[in-house]
């Protein structure tokens, strides 16, 4: 275990140095969600009835945070693809290191980079009028859900990062995930949607995750949404990790 931790720490430091030398990746990750937040608050916000009083940015922010994570994991897949296609992956595998440490280095880097991007988005939301009276425990709950969600999507991104044949194939990973919040409660309540769309919105992972985060920072009981959000995040994490490790073992076999 100590060997695995030491090697993972070293490889995470390597990946983080790439981020520090190219901080524009974090800025780009946050740029699209921030643009969406500005568009919906200042252009469409007055026309959207959420059934709640207060600034629309308070309602919108959870969905924007999930879009930020979806945007960020594309860079994880791309960095891993570049290591594989550039021969770095095979070079690392030839060294006496813990095999899974190579993947965990990229995964932990993704978590750190995404948390920084999420902090940037929250700062912009505060400048736009976002306010919350939630306590420390509620905010720790929000961070915990977002971290679990980031881990799940990052392990999902590992799969094309290992298996893709071109950079174009890797770059397209995030687009379906970025637009998934549009068919959820992220931008408006689901009860005003057409029947089939409402059913899909209520039974996909984004809606309970968004509702849980919204309830936590609004100091309201999250109830069933919180358990559903945790179940979705943990379930997706386990499934994505199992699939990623299967692809990984095939890659190094």
List per-residue pLDDT tens for the chain, 253 residues long: 677 777 778 878 887 887 777 777 777 778 888 998 998 888 887 777 776 667 889 899 999 999 999 888 888 888 888 877 777 767 776 776 766 778 888 889 889 989 989 999 999 999 998 988 888 899 999 999 999 999 999 999 888 888 877 777 777 766 788 788 888 888 888 887 888 988 998 999 999 999 999 999 888 887 889 999 999 999 999 999 999 989 888 876 5
E-strand spans in the chain? none
Angstrom distance (rounded) from CA 161 to CA 176? 16
> What is the distance of C-alpha 248 from the center of its chain?
21
Q: Tokens 């978590």 sit at which residue?
A: 111
Report d(CA 45, CA 41) in Å as an integer: 4
Token code pair at residue 106: 């990229």
C-alpha to C-alpha distance for 251 and 171, rounded to whole angstroms:
20
pTM score, two decimals? Answer: 0.89
- Rounded Cα–Cα distance for residues 14 and 71 (Å): 22
Residue showing tokens 């275990």: 1
């Amino acid at each position: 275990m100590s060997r695995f931790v030491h090697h993972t720490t070293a490889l995470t430091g390597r990946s983080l140095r790439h981020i520090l030398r190219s901080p524009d990746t974090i800025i780009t990750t946050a740029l699209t969600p921030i643009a969406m937040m500005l568009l919906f608050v200042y252009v469409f916000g007055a026309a959207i009835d959420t059934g709640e009083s207060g600034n629309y940015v308070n309602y919108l922010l959870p969905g924007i945070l999930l879009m930020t994570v979806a945007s960020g994991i594309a860079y994880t897949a791309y960095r891993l693809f570049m290591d594989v296609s550039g021969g770095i992956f095979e070079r690392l595998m030839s060294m006496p290191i813990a095999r899974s440490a190579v993947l965990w280095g990229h995964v932990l880097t993704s978590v750190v980079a995404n948390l920084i991007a999420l902090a940037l988005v929250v700062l912009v939301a505060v400048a736009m009028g976002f306010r919350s009276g939630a306590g420390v425990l509620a905010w720790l709950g929000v961070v915990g859900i977002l971290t679990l969600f980031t881990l799940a999507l990052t392990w999902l991104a590992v799969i094309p990062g290992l298996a893709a044949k071109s950079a174009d194939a890797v770059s397209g990973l995030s687009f379906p995930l970025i637009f998934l919040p549009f068919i959820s409660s992220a931008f408006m309540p689901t009860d005003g949607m057409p029947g089939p769309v409402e059913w899909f919105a209520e039974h996909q992972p984004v809606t309970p995750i968004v509702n849980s985060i919204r309830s936590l920072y609004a100091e309201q009981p999250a109830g069933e949404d919180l358990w559903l959000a945790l179940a979705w995040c943990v379930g997706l994490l386990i499934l994505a990790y199992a699939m990623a490790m299967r692809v990984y073992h095939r890659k190094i076999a």
